[in-house]
Structure 1
Amino acid sequence: MRLKVAAFLALAAGFWLPQVQAGVNVGSTRVIYQSKEKEANLSLSNSGEDGVPYLVQSWVSPYENRDESADEFIITPPLFRLDAKSQNILRIIATNAQNLQTDKESLFLLNVKAIPAKSTEQSSQNVLQIALKTTIKLFYRPAGLQGSLQETVEKLQWRAEGGHLTVHNPSGFNVVVSDLLINNKASQGMPEVIKPGNTVTTAIPLKNSDKLELTYINEYGSTVKAAPITVH
Structure 2
Amino acid sequence: FYLNVLDIPPRPEFGGKKADVGNVNYLQLAVRSRIKLFFRPATLNQSVADAARQVTWSRVNRGNQTFLRADNQTPYFVTYKKIALKSDRDIQSLTQPGMVSPYSVKEFTLPGKNLYGASVIWTVINDYGGYEEGKSSIK
**1:197 maps onto 2:103 in alignment:** yes
Q: 1:140 aligned to 2:39? A: yes
Asked whether the 8 Å contact 1:160–1:208 carries over to 2, the reply is no
Quick check: 2:80–2:97 contact (8 Å CA) kept in 1? yes
TM-score by structure 2 length?
A: 0.75
CA shift, 1:164, in A, is: 1.1
Q: Compute the TM-score of the two structures, normalised by the length of structure 1.
A: 0.47
Segments of 5+ residues of structure 1 without an aligned counterpart are: 1-107
8 A Cα contact 1:189 1:204, kept in partner: no
Structure-1 residue corresponding to 2:136: 229
AA aligned to 1:199 is V
Per-residue CA deviations over 1:142-178 (Å, capped at 9, x if unaligned) read: 2423633222111011111012111011000111111
Q: Mark the runs of 5 or more structure 2 residues left unpaired by the alignment.
A: none
* 1: CA distance, partners of 2:123 / 2:82: 5
Question: Alignment partner of 1:152: what SS?
Answer: helix
Q: Which amino acid aligns with 1:175?
A: V
Q: Secondary structure at the match of 2:39?
A: strand
Query: Counterpart of 2:49 in structure 1: which amino acid?
Result: Q
Indicate the RMSD between aligned Cα atoms, in angstroms. Answer: 2.3
State the percentage of identical aligned residues.
24
Query: Counterpart of 1:173 in 2: which secondary structure?
Result: coil
